[in-house]
Amino acid sequence: MQIHYLSDENSILNHFLGQIRNVNIQNDSMRFRRNVERIGEVMAYELSKDLHYSDVEIQTPLGIKKTTEISDKLVLCSILRAGLPLHLGFLNYFDAAENGFVSAYRHHANNDASFDILVEYQAVPNIENKTLLLIDPMLATGQSMVAVYEKLMQKGLPKEIHIAVIIAAPEGIAYLKTHLPDHCHLWIATLDEKLNDKNYIIPGLGDAGDLAYGNKL
């Protein structure tokens, strides 16, 4: 797996990352969503450098200009509900992309720390021979991402797979390396220290879905 760490160098990305973590700022859910969206825009720009392009000629009012445009057929697929603001950031840049949405959540059958990942709702276009971008803010254990990947592969085989996350834990990265193909690309805005005993990312930011859309029952 090819891993791209985007916060190693100072940029406006780190400014937005700091704001979504800050407890004095993140309580403003509208600002939290907008910052996640802006992080998605920055990540989309960085990821765009790894896509494929074709030469084209553009007619301007005064002549012809040779340039390039993306030749990949993109499918953006996010995991509900926390992935929605990040998805929108990518869609702002890849506005011609098709879009898919999948639900995945931790099911604690025994009311303890152990859990299974349930993947239920799916609304996904054809991904056969296309460039698939899987989008989710948090990569904790990695089990949700792998479960969604395996479900999507039942619908067809994409030409390329890019996974985009804001915050990743080392445990989740190791899990993806073990369970996903070597040719996948993993784009990480920032790497955190570890998971706690409840498999939450430390220092993390809390529950991204709740911060964006309110607490759930």
Instruction: Give the per-residue pLDDT at 104.
Output: 82
Instruction: Give the per-residue pLDDT at 184.
Output: 96
Instruction: Give the per-residue pLDDT at 119.
Output: 83
pLDDT band at 173 (very low <50, low <70, confident <90, very high): very high
Average pLDDT for 175-191? 97
Instruction: Give the per-residue pLDDT at 110.
Output: 67
Task: Encode pLDDT of 13-26 as tens digits.
Answer: 999 999 999 999 99
More confident residue, 109 or 103: 103
Catalogue all structural domains in the chain, each as residue range(s) with its CATH number: 2-213 (3.40.50.2020)
Tokens of 74: 């993109």
More confident residue, 66 or 115: 66
Instruction: Give the per-residue pLDDT at 107.
Output: 66
Instruction: Give the per-residue pLDDT at 18.
Output: 97
Instruction: Give the per-residue pLDDT at 120.
Output: 84
Residues 6+ apart with CB under 8 A from 102: 77, 78, 79, 80, 119, 121, 122, 123, 124, 148, 151, 152
Question: Residue 176 above 80 pLDDT?
Answer: yes
Strand partners, 98: 75
Question: Residue 117 above 90 pLDDT?
Answer: no
Closest CA to 47 of 78, 16, 4, 92: 4
pLDDT band at 108 (very low <50, low <70, confident <90, very high): low
Question: Residue 106 above 90 pLDDT?
Answer: no
Question: Residue 182 above 90 pLDDT?
Answer: yes
Task: Encode pLDDT of 25-45 as tens digits.
Answer: 998 999 999 999 999 999 999
Instruction: Give the per-residue pLDDT at 109.
Output: 65
